[in-house]
Amino acid sequence: MQKMFTVSRKSILLKGTSIPGAEDRQQKIPGFDQGIFSKRRVVCVGAGGIISQVAPTLARKGVGGITLLDDDVVEASNLNRQRFYIKDIGQNKALALAENLLPECIAETEICSHPFRLEEVIARQIDLTCDVAICGVDNNPARVAASRYFRARGIPVIFTAVNLTGDHGYVFVQGKDGPCIACLFPDIVNDDRYPCPGTPAIADILQAVGSLAVYTVDTLLMDRPRKWNYRRISLADGSQDGSALLPARLHCPIPNHQEK
């Protein structure tokens, strides 16, 4: 079945509605500053399993802007874990997620959505200005593209992924400088494989890493503490959990990765 001909390829811009008082409780959290958070933009690379856990929470917290990128189309098999409904099947994921984020908003969050993958957005020179990017894709070519693109612009990127059995996940923070994703996974630059259709996926582990990713956004924008740049989590075995402050690799396969 060829769906591409019926799927919209036009970017959209939506705006949330402010709900006075909705931010009351989180303003009492030490380090959280609504005035700052509601002026910051997060680019979400992907609009599937991980971003479905991240973007609604960013909207609920009243982020200033969310930019969504994805060229994929919603299928029935996504509905167990992604923020889509039966009405969305056959629609572009980035556009459908943008619509579904509107009722999640508590502030005038600007939601900018492009029905393209990151590489195409870059090729089209679409504006990806932001304060933080979150890479929630399922393939290494896009992770490497995100690492290079945002590093060159001095923008931190939060990488997150889960394993195929749905019991492990990690979050890695690539700062403005310091270690990049290829310092953590040097083989990533030579891996041009894409996951097979029908890869196993379940919501619980995605929610676990999604929560860590959303918290990490706060640590990058405001005064909430974080003592790690790499964090891994196991649902079954707490002894497999871990956190570390990883250094840059001496011979990183992404050259000049410490340049801005």
Contacts with Zn ion, residue ranges (CB under 5 A) = 180, 182-183, 252, 257
The rounded distance, in Å, linking the Cα atoms of 69 and 42 is 11
The two tokens of residue 128 are 């990806």
Q: What is the DSSP letter of 39?
A: T
- Residue 81 or 148: the one with the smaller Cβ distance to Zn ion is 148
- Residue 161 or 252: the one with the smaller Cβ distance to Zn ion is 252
Nearest approach, Cβ of 147 to Zn ion (angstroms)?
8
How do 110-114 and 65-69 pair as beta strands?
Answer: parallel
Q: Which residue in 119, 81, 120, 121 sits closest to 97, CA to CA? A: 81
- Residue 54 or 252: the one with the smaller Cβ distance to Zn ion is 252
- Residue 90 or 178: the one with the smaller Cβ distance to Zn ion is 178
- Residue 63 or 180: the one with the smaller Cβ distance to Zn ion is 180
Nearest approach, Cβ of 20 to Zn ion (angstroms)?
45
Nearest approach, Cβ of 257 to Zn ion (angstroms)?
4
Nearest approach, Cβ of 178 to Zn ion (angstroms)?
9
The rounded distance, in Å, linking the Cα atoms of 249 and 83 is 37
Phi, psi of 195 (to 5 degrees): -65, 150
The rounded distance, in Å, linking the Cα atoms of 67 and 13 is 9
| Residue whose Cβ sits closest to Zn ion | 252
